[in-house]
Amino acid sequence: MDNSTKNSILIVDDEKSNILYLNNILGADYEIYIAKDGPRAIELAKEFAPDLILLDIIMPGMDGYEIFEALKTSDTTKAIPIIFVTGLSGSADESKGLILGAEDYIAKPFNDEIVRLRVRNQIKIVNQMRAIVEKELAEHKLQMKTKFLSRLSHEMLTPMNAIIGMTKISQMEDDIDAIQDHLVTIENSSNDLLDLIQNVLELDEGDEKPTELFGY
């Protein structure tokens, strides 16, 4: 990823000390957003679409599990990976988070290296998936462009051939009425070609579906 663009992390925790700690060890490498309760976490997740969410389980009002379920039931936020962060002990608590679909689990008290590694691993996966999607989109756009140019050449050749053909026939024609008919065909084909060129010129630069110009 471009060094000028940092991955982003949403930290959801109601304890100031935890927020300060996580921001201190992660802030230099990632863009950090902070939420101290569930509603604010959901709001920020929808607004900024962070690359990763670190979610505390013991929270006032909505607990971490409830926040998790709310995020995963929203089309806007359901794809954001979540790591549960908690001081709860016991495998049952960890298992519950993983069963819900959390990507990982960080236990308190924090270990600097473990936090960095687990965050880094998830961000690496996010970036790899993003690269795959971008590659597929680029390949799709290239295919669409090739298809568009092929169809465009065909659509342009049709009126051009009519113009050239009718012009040659008119040059050899003695019948005035026949020449007038040929001129009408030439005019209609010229207008069709002009309309096609105008439509191409009016296409937005970022249009992802230029083939709609031809009705497909």
In the listed set 93, 110, 127, which residue is the last one of a domain according to the structure? 110
Q: Are 93 and 151 in the same domain?
A: no
Q: The tokens of 201 are what?
A: 């010129």
Q: What is the pLDDT of residues 33-48, one digit of tens each?
A: 999 999 999 999 999 9
Q: What pLDDT is attached to residue 15?
A: 94
Q: Are 31 and 101 in the same domain?
A: yes
Q: What pLDDT is attached to residue 212?
A: 55
Q: Are 93 and 145 in the same domain?
A: no
Burial string for 53-89 (b: 16+ CB within 10 Å, else e) reads bbbbbebeebebbebbebbeeeeebeebbbbbbbebe
Residue 46 CA: distances (Å) to CA of 19, 53, 70, 75, 137: 20, 12, 11, 9, 23
Please check whether residue 126 is in contact with residue 104, taking contact to mean a CB–CB distance below 8 angstroms: no
The CATH code of the domain that includes 28 is 3.40.50.2300
Residue 121 domain-assigned?
Answer: no
Helix (H) or strand (E) run with residue 10 in it = strand 8-12
Beta bridge partners of 54: 11, 83
Q: Are 149 and 104 in the same domain?
A: no
State which residues form the domain around 80: 8-110
Where the chain has pLDDT below 50, the residues are 1-3, 216
Domains in the chain, number: 2
Residue 69 domain-assigned?
Answer: yes
| Cα angle: 186, vertex 162, 201; to 5 degrees | 80
